[in-house]
Amino acid sequence: MTLVRGTFLDTPVAGELRTLDGVLQVEDGVVVARGPAQDFPAADVDLRGGVVLPGLVDTHVHYPQVRAIGGLGMPLLDWLDRCALPEECKLAAPAYAAAVATEFVDGLVRAGTTTALVFGSHFATAVDALFTEAARVGLRVTSGLVVSDRLLPAELLTDPARALREGRELAARWHGVGRSRYAVTPRFSLSCSAELLESCAALLQELDGAVFTSHVNENLAEVAAVEQLHGGYVDSYDERALLGPRSVLAHDVHPTDGELDVLALRGTAVAHCPTSNAALGSGLFPLRRHRAAGVRVALGSDVGAGTGFSLLKEGLQAYFAQQLLGAEGLPLTPADLLHLATAAGADALGLGDQVGHLSVGMRFDAVWLRPPEGSTLDVVLRSAAGPDDALAKVFALGGPADVAGVWVDGTRIRG
Ligand SMILES: [Zn+2]
């Protein structure tokens, strides 16, 4: 049993910030009691100074693209050709993949991310390297083999039978093992034949509790190309029964109303990746339309098109995007940003009964933000008018440099 003292901020209910200046009692990785400090004996772990948030949940991030971060100045399809795909080809070499896996997992943890839905590699050996490193460090990860059979460089291509076989083998090694789960991951329907998407559907059906993830409606040129190949973008997945409550589609910057209705009907979640959308000029995310249609939305960093691993930065950029949309935007409060970065992500990944907030019965996945003394965040937090104001300052100024400790299942994995 561990007693943790601190200022805990979380959002078990969307849009409502809950604050506890007190103690969490953690047993076997689970929060078993919480309350004011006077109700408990002296704490074992003192996290006073700064704030403790639920571990951040990244619902869309590309493992092979760590070293591609910062390729600015291109729209999606040019960026893929010039930045992302050449880097992804390098993961064919196991030693290179292992090095990138180490950098990637470390980057997530340094940013305070404890749970991630990770776009894997096109190479099965590299996907093994990711799962191995995530398990070694303790990160809660859902990932899988990325598959494509058209459009991409030849070394990244597979075929339906091989995709099914390699996916089965990886899932047998990793799905439901420790904190790892498998995600069936066609890159995007533009790089997939109908037959390959059908093999993805076959694998998804075989794997109990697996996640489906891909991209959708990111960029107008991409949407038009998918339209030519498959008809509708959302339909290209839905027609193969790939969309359900365990499905997460990244971006959806340019959906039709009909597509939003399909996503809502299937219970499929959207990973909103605001720095990527801005960096690639993909567009401003129509959050209001998603909410109105009843589509679940969470945050993704989309590294390497996104500009870093911090979901605090993604939260701030999500806020900016809604401000820039004017009357079409949905003004976001600090509590909304925290919810998007934690509980909404856990919910999108089917983990909402385990992580995403710090209620009794939940796993103790947490990040302690204690800015360096004298830093601007430290200075402004000291003058915060209350918890909402403090949280706004955290999103405005916080980043990996402020992460003083990270816990998964009650075990400190950093700091
Ligand atoms: Zn992506």
User: Tens digit of pLDDT for each residue in 196-243?
Assistant: 999 999 999 999 999 999 999 999 999 999 999 999 999 999 999 999
- Tens of pLDDT, residue by residue over 179-202, are 999 999 999 999 999 999 999 999
CA of 66 to the centre of ligand 1 (A): 12
- As a dihedral over the C-alpha atoms of residue 291, residue 294, residue 299, residue 300, rounded to 10 degrees, the angle is -120
CA of 319 to the centre of ligand 1 (A): 20
The full set of domains in the chain, from first to last, is: 2-54+356-414 (2.30.40.10), 56-348 (3.20.20.140)
CA of 361 to the centre of ligand 1 (A): 33
pLDDT at 277: 97
CA of 46 to the centre of ligand 1 (A): 38
- Tens of pLDDT, residue by residue over 128-176, are 999 999 999 999 999 999 999 999 999 999 999 999 999 999 999 999 9
- Tens of pLDDT, residue by residue over 66-92, are 999 999 989 988 999 999 999 999 999
Q: Are the C-beta atoms of residues 213 and 117 closer than 8 Å to each other?
A: yes
pLDDT at 307: 96
CA of 273 to the centre of ligand 1 (A): 8
Average predicted confidence (pLDDT) for the chain: 97
Count of residues in the chain: 415
CA of 400 to the centre of ligand 1 (A): 21
Q: What is the distance between the alpha carbons of residues 302 and 119, in angstroms, rounded to a whole number?
A: 9
User: What three-state secondary structure class fits 345?
Assistant: helix
- What average pLDDT score do residues 270-288 get? 97
Six-digit token string for 63: 């493992």
CA of 61 to the centre of ligand 1 (A): 6
CA of 399 to the centre of ligand 1 (A): 21
Strands (E), 145-180: 146-147
- Tens of pLDDT, residue by residue over 20-50, are 999 999 999 999 999 999 999 999 999 999 9
CA of 390 to the centre of ligand 1 (A): 31
- What average pLDDT score do residues 8-29 get? 98
pLDDT at 338: 98
Task: pLDDT band for 116, please (50, 70, 90 cuts).
Answer: very high
Mode of pairing for the β-strands spanning 51-54 and 56-62: unpaired
Six-digit token string for 135: 């398990």
pLDDT at 120: 98
Six-digit token string for 410: 């009650």
- What average pLDDT score do residues 374-395 get? 97
The residue assigned the tokens 């997530």 is 108
Within 8 A by CB and 6+ apart from 410, the residues are: 2, 26, 27, 28, 29, 30, 363, 364
